[in-house]
Amino acid sequence: MLIPVRPPRRTRSSPGPPHLPRGRCPDAGGGTMSEISTSLSWALTMAARRQGVVIDTQRLGTAIAAAVGKGGSPDIPKLCRALNLSRPRHLAKPDRPSLPLLCQVKEQGWGLLVDQRPDGRWDFLCHTGQSVVGDAEIVGGGYRLDFTEQGGKKGQQGFERVFLDAIGEFRPVLIEIVVASVVMSIIALGASIFSMQVYDRVIPTHGVATLIVLAIGVGLAILFELGMKFARSHIMDKVVSGLDAKLSQALYERLLAVRVDQLPGSVGSLAGQLRGYEQIRSFYTSQTLFTLVDLPLGLLFVLVIALIASPWMALVPTVFGVVAILIGYLSNRKVARLADKSAAASNLKTGLLVETVEGVETIKSGSGGWKFLSRWIDVSAESIRSDMAMRAIGDHAGYIAATLQQLSYSTTVIIGAFLVINGQITMGALIACSILGGRILAPVAMIPGLMVQRAHTKATLAGLEKIYALQTDQGSERQLTPDNLRGEFRIEEAKFTYAGSMLNAMTIDQLTINAGERVAVLGPIGAGKSTILRLLSGLYRPQQGRILLDGLDMANINRLTLNQHIGYLQQDHRLFVGSLRENLLIGLPDPGDDVLRQVMERTGLLRLVSSHPKGLDLPIQEGGRGLSGGQKQLVAFTRLLLCQPNVFLLDEPTASMDEDLERHCLNVLNQEISGGRTLVVVTHKPAFLPMVDRVIVVVGNRIVLDGPRDVILARLRGQQAPLPAVSAEA
């Protein structure tokens, strides 16, 4: 996977953003958007790196553009939200224990206060250099930023914790919803009191005037309750949309953070698991919340029944409510056993469907439709069996709950009738109690259905927790962010095994690749050549041993830092839906049309662009459908040159190209790496051999030969040239 994230460098020794002359930074009065973006971007990048975090430059630029207001002053809290950071701590006056601080200085723009001198002045770093400033030059105080969330140090927590944290951000709004529900429930008491007054006072005394007053009062109460329902619904919609945005972003970020070798084999099943967050969000933010609010209020209604009638009347809905809750609990135990099967079957269906769509050409050409149809029928049958069994349990629980409601009403009327006959309560009290009894059992009757939904939600949550349990590119330790990586690799006692496999995919006792060296990796298919490149790129991590890059353990180097310096062109490269420009600039700030044209002219891609009326906006379909294999490889090769890495890891980069295009691309590649950059290429084509100095031969997932090109090639041809001491034996 190639993920270029930095613009083409002007020189190999200038890793930072382009410098502006002194005095061109924004002052306290504002500055141009470019000036603000340059100084603020540099300051945020350096602040993050001091905490072992690298920020994607494209994402940072978008966040800064959105945070800068019309007056040219950036909204730092808004900027932090866009970068998924915790709220920054603002200090009206900087203090030494809080350093480093992000701040703005007159005539110099945004930067970092990094230290305080004995005379009280501050050491200030900005993109133009270092200076000493006083308190009077600092505009608006400083901000203490925490990049640990952005850096993934809190990424070790599970999805449930992420969900609860997201819910917590809406706590004030949810409190408003709860208060509205309580008010609505209290208003609902008005209908019961209204009925009681009509039967006890209006009808016996023929009090029409009293009836009119009561009618107006209850009408106003009903209208007020209706307004509250609309308001509650509107507020809940905002909560759902905000929660959905946060959860979807958190899940997608987590997916992107998972190490490649940890991803499950079925893309469709993984997509089904990720989509399950919608069910979790729906369960906790819809009727469940209202039911949890109404259940405690049921105790209030029970107390009202006991006050206006008799404790015996209050006992009826209480008993039936307890029975309904018990039925829901028993149903939940049965459904929980089926929910896991149902979720697994649903994920299998999604996986099979995605696999069929992606491979429909192979299925049709190979007459394999009947086989896939048979698999679909089997998977669908298993899913239907689980769903129907769960539905039957839920329906039965619902039927019983409805029956309990009817029994509760009938029992209330029967007991109340005896109490009325004995003169212990009035007719109005009986009517009011029957209405309140229904209000008590309404949320209770929903419990069996909610228990079934909870079982589904619990199974879905378990699937998401499995995704969160996968190892990520960045561990819990602080990551290293070196300015430059030359490309000196050293592998020591490394063993790698694919997830779910018992066989070693690659074993390397010792391997050293010097910076600037050009190496070809040869071997039969399935020998493990591509695995070596993935290990060198950091996308795979050995279960045993370690891989050092420039003397640093690659497991401790920030993923984005590796992406900036290592260009990995995989064998099964993929293009994405969008335009050609978007595919060329994945993760790379737009360098401008002139740079794109120059690089495309070098690689020959310009001919493809020139022949299409939309040029760089040429639409690319999913997977690059509509382009030949050679054209897709040419797009990927052009993207690699735009990245300009220090290390080139190429896996069969010209396998689908014709000879003329391959020869042209090899000449361009030879020019690109002439400045001492490291090249490791996996190939079956002899055309690459003249440009390498060293050859590694891999057979049976082990390195069997390693040495100078001519010596190894002679050995492979069966000649008896002496083989010098190799740097890798396995």
As given in the structure block, the two tokens for residue 388 are: 């129907």
CB 51 within 8 A of CB 147: yes
CATH number of 267's domain: 1.20.1560.10
Task: Say if residue 250 is in the same domain as residue 386.
Answer: yes
In a domain, 310, yes or no: yes
Q: State the Rg of the chain over Cα.
A: 34
Q: Write out pLDDT tens, residues 64-112.
A: 888 886 666 788 888 888 887 888 889 988 888 888 899 999 888 899 9
Residue 314, burial from CB neighbour count under 10 angstroms (0-12, 13-18, 19+): buried
Task: Say if residue 359 is in the same domain as residue 264.
Answer: yes
Task: Say if residue 455 is in the same domain as residue 494.
Answer: no
Task: Say if residue 193 is in the same domain as residue 94.
Answer: no
Q: What is the mean pLDDT of the chain?
A: 83
Domain boundary among 438, 468, 498: 468
CATH number of 132's domain: 3.90.70.10
Domain boundary among 92, 117, 144: 144
In a domain, 16, yes or no: no
In a domain, 173, yes or no: yes
Q: Write out pLDDT tens, residues 302-349.
A: 888 888 888 888 888 888 888 888 887 777 777 777 777 777 788 888
Q: Write out pLDDT tens, residues 454-475.
A: 877 888 888 888 888 888 887 6
In a domain, 2, yes or no: no
Domain boundary among 468, 498, 517: 468
Residue 265 scores a pLDDT above 50 = yes
Task: Say if residue 167 is in the same domain as residue 256.
Answer: yes
Q: How far is CA 663 from CA 402, 599, 650, 653, 660, in A?
A: 78, 17, 16, 12, 5
Task: Say if residue 174 is in the same domain as residue 137.
Answer: no
* Per-residue pLDDT, 475: 67
Residue-number span of the structural domain to which 554 is assigned: 489-716
Q: Write out pLDDT tens, residues 140-176.
A: 889 998 887 654 445 557 888 888 888 888 888 888 8
In a domain, 166, yes or no: yes
Q: Write out pLDDT tens, residues 614-633.
A: 888 888 888 888 888 889 99
Which has the higher per-residue pLDDT, 711 or 10?
A: 711
Count the domains in the chain: 3
In a domain, 722, yes or no: no
Residue labelled with tokens 């759902």: 240
Task: Say if residue 643 is in the same domain as residue 494.
Answer: yes
Please name the residue ranges forming H helices in 276-368.
Answer: 277-285, 287-308, 311-358, 360-365
Task: Say if residue 464 is in the same domain as residue 506.
Answer: no
Task: Say if residue 74 is in the same domain as residue 163.
Answer: no
Give Cβ neighbours of residue 568 (< 8 Å, ≥ 6 apart): 1, 2, 533, 534, 537, 539, 649, 651
CATH number of 520's domain: 3.40.50.300
Cβ neighbours around 514 below 10 Å, total: 15
